[in-house]
Amino acid sequence: MVQNVPYTYRWILFLASILTLASCQKLFEYERKSLLITTDASEIQADAVLVGALISDFPRVEGDASVVQHGHCWARTTSPTVNDSLSLLGTRDSIGLYTSQLRNLTPNTTYFARAYLRVASGQIFYGNEITFTTLSDGIGDLRVSSISASQIANNTAKVQVLYTNITLGLSGKRGVCWATTPNPTVLGSRSEVAMEGGISGQKSFFYDLNNLNTNTTYYARGYFRTLRDSIIYANNQVIFRTSQ
């Protein structure tokens, strides 16, 4: 038994060193994440989102610790890295907040994102992970309370389209199309306006129809065009006749 004591001590010291190393590793990882905090996503759309970060301190490493690149990385799986999609915001020499606009996202999709810093010595430091889900790029509920024509002349008219319930997650275009036959499409005459950002709720839009034929019956209906060039037509149309 006396001869086995040193051997036992060696095992105790070995295990103690392993536990100490693991504790230091956990502390190091905590410090890495606490110096860089990823903030929640905002301004969530179907294809874009704004994500922030806070640099509370710069990393302490052997070699050159100057920040040569920073931003956010994101993916559809957890723990995204700079090998996934990322923003490039350049060098950084001060603590504080910064934001990244994440673009070209897939609608109705859950993403994971986190901030990162790359220092001159080559090490990469990541912040905590956040998650968000993009909006749908379609119109969840498109109902027309009324569509009416006014100021009808021999070759012009004004059309008002009132949507009582609409949800559009993407920027795109809104418009009205018209023809001399029922259920007009965008392949014919149309008036189209670009939109910035999604819209929701009750909305009313006015359109000027020009170059109409005199003494002619027309059909008009509203529509939306998404960034992916999908066309969603309203479920109602107006019929009017130009004057002579």
Q: What is the mean pLDDT of the chain?
A: 82
**pLDDT bracket for residue 30 (50, 70, 90):** very low
Tell me the C-alpha distance between 219 and 213, whole Å. Answer: 13
- Whether 167 has a pLDDT exceeding 90, the answer reads no
**Per the CATH hierarchy, to which homologous superfamily does domain 143-241 belong?**
Immunoglobulins (2.60.40.10)
Beta-carbon contacts of residue 61 (< 8 Å; ≥ 6 apart):
119, 121, 123
**pLDDT bracket for residue 22 (50, 70, 90):** very low
Q: How many CA atoms lie within 13 A of 8 on its CB side?
A: 5
Closest C-alpha to 215, from 155, 150, 148, 159: 155
Tell me the C-alpha distance between 225 and 158, whole Å. Answer: 21
Beta-carbon contacts of residue 97 (< 8 Å; ≥ 6 apart):
39, 52, 53, 54, 55
The tens digit of pLDDT for each residue in 183-192 reads: 999 999 999 9
Answer yes or no: same fold for 33-133 and 143-241.
Answer: yes
For the chain, the domains span 33-133, 143-241
**What pTM was estimated for this model as a whole?**
0.53
How do beta strands 110-119 and 124-133 pair? antiparallel
**Mean pLDDT confidence for 240-244:** 93
CB 100 within 8 A of CB 123: no
CB 103 within 8 A of CB 54: no
Residue carrying the six token digits 């020499």? 93
**pLDDT bracket for residue 143 (50, 70, 90):** low
Beta-carbon contacts of residue 51 (< 8 Å; ≥ 6 apart):
38, 39, 41, 42, 72, 74, 99, 100, 102, 113, 115, 130
The verdict on domain 33-133 having CATH code 2.60.40.10 is: yes
